[in-house]
Structure 1
Amino acid sequence: MSNDLLHTRLVFITGASSGIGQALALRYAQAGYRLALVGRRSSELQTWAQAQGWNDNTCRIYSADVADPASIVAAGTDCLAAQGLPDVVIASAGISIGMDTAERDDIDVMARTFATNNTGMAATFQPFVAAMVRRGGGTLVGIASVAAIRGLPGHGAYCASKAAVVAYCESLRGELRRSGVAVVTLLPGYVDTPLTRKNRYAMPFLMSPQAFAAQAFDAIAAQTSYRVIPWQMGVVARLLRLLPNTLFDRLLAGRPRKHRQDQDVAA
């Protein structure tokens, strides 16, 4: 690798096959970053990257399933060997599947959701943490959701997993305090992606992935510890958090539930 490339900033993004992850890849490319993109559908991701006109010096594709810790850790290790230590690591991969605790199969759905959204996030960061600390700099980004703020009927697995993302990133931020490594937690509202298009309920302040990526890029560059995007959704979420349980439960009574596992979509 040439010295020029080594001095060009590098971002590592999971879930880059579609949605938020892909929009973030485009935004970072526009800013002149080299890209390390991770997806389960690596052949599709490679085809998309080539269509952008990116060569191996600009972008490398890594195949991994973030729900399998060995798989995503291997992708991170491969990135270190092929492209060097990233400046920014974004754990964007996630799944959103409705569940019903009365259904036995949905307990497996919950386990799969946590494996992807939580264990997968920690495994995404793991290969880079020690090296970033030694360097004295870097940014680790966890993509949570406003669904972390209050539990929604039929969303038990997703809401719980995203609340866990917020708590995990907060813990990690404390662990890395004064190391020079920043931890950023982003909470998207509703973004127009394959994860949301089959939703059967209203989605206020729905954003395009590109609009989200633009605001996320700025928040990450500023090393903002916690941000809801868009801010209007943050206001709504805070108000919902303040509602007494009886009023909150009444407000959500009869609200359509998330599609269950036979209609799930992965990022």
Structure 2
Amino acid sequence: MSTTDNNHAPLVFITGASSGIGQALAARYAQAGWRLALSARRTGEVEAWIRSAGLGPERAQVYGADVAQADSIIAAGHACIERQGLPDCIIANAGISIGMDTAERADLDVMAQIFAINNLGLAATFHPFVAAMRARGSGRLVGIGSVAGIRGLPGHGAYCASKAGVISYCESLRTELHGSGIKVVTICPGYVATPLTEGNRYGMPFLLQPSEFAERAYRVIEAGSSYRVIPWQMGVVAKLLRIVPNGLFDRAVQGRGRKRRLSER
């Protein structure tokens, strides 16, 4: 691809690009010839990955930002527009998953941190781009939810609630932007082998490698689908869980391993 081609290649902005799903998505978009705008707190890791992938500055730029601080990720978005132009696709991928016990005061602070990153951080990621995309009449805003947002699980109160919030927020945003030319895509991963799932104390059916997830997510985003669970098998499981009566569901999840709390790590 020539420099001229690079200058006209589509641009994707991805948060949480230093590892896991975010890095796998970056690799998939690079493979498809897109330019990359990658945001992360650990910029050194992203820069090392860009070098290892053989991507020059015309193909990839890094923006340091803390998604937990709205002004930080907003500033990164504006810097991206100034340096690389208005992206064609925004993927709000950054997120954390930590167990909690409501009886423990310290875990309420953990809950606030999870919401700051997974919810406010997602909205703040989209914020710098919405008006310009609307004026252009095109774009994709991709929110990474989770199957965990479909039904609450013991010990996962903060994470499940945050991902339920992602699903509802993206649905609201989709209806607000209807007819604008902007597609809002909600993707709910099942289990993906990333640092986020390392150390889980329970079975993880239909576990995907990050590259497998990224391939499927890329196709969903390109198709402009409004909502998709990946892999589809977990979508079936999620639908079944949603219709199971509460009493049966409550009994079924008793004894299930809980996500490690911050003090247990």
Scaled by the length of structure 2, what TM-score is found? Answer: 0.98
Q: Greater relative contact order (Cα 8 A, min sep 6): structure 1 or 2?
A: 1
Match of 1:106 in 2: 107
2 CA distance for matches of 1:140 and 1:70?
19
Equivalent pairs, count:
263
1 CA distance for matches of 2:263 and 2:46?
24
2 CA distance for matches of 1:6 and 1:166?
34
Partner of 1:141: helix, strand, or coil?
strand
Partner of 2:29: helix, strand, or coil?
helix
Contact map agreement 1:142 1:185 (CA 8 A) in 2: yes
**How does 1:120-159 map onto structure 2 within 5 Å?**
120-159=121-160
**How does 1:232-243 map onto structure 2 within 5 Å?**
232-243=233-244
Match of 1:248 in 2: 249
**How does 1:67-106 map onto structure 2 within 5 Å?**
67-106=68-107
Residue type of the partner of 2:120?
T
Could you list the structure 1 runs, at least 4 aligned residues long, displaced by more than 2 angstroms after superposition.
Answer: 2-6
Contact map agreement 1:67 1:120 (CA 8 A) in 2: yes
Contact map agreement 1:6 1:84 (CA 8 A) in 2: no
**How does 1:1-267 map onto structure 2 within 5 Å?**
4-262=5-263
1 CA distance for matches of 2:169 and 2:57?
34
Contact map agreement 1:205 1:230 (CA 8 A) in 2: yes
Deviation at 1:62, TM superposition (A): 0.5
Q: Which structure 2 residue ranges, 5 or more long, are not aligned?
A: none
Q: Which structure 1 residue ranges, 5 or more long, are not aligned?
A: none
2 CA distance for matches of 1:169 and 1:240?
21
1 CA distance for matches of 2:257 and 2:206?
18
Deviation at 1:4, TM superposition (A): 4.2
Q: CA RMSD of the aligned region, Å?
A: 1.0
Deviation at 1:31, TM superposition (A): 0.3
Contact map agreement 1:147 1:158 (CA 8 A) in 2: yes
Contact map agreement 2:66 2:73 (CA 8 A) in 1: yes
Scaled by the length of structure 1, what TM-score is found? Answer: 0.97
Identity across matched positions, percent: 65
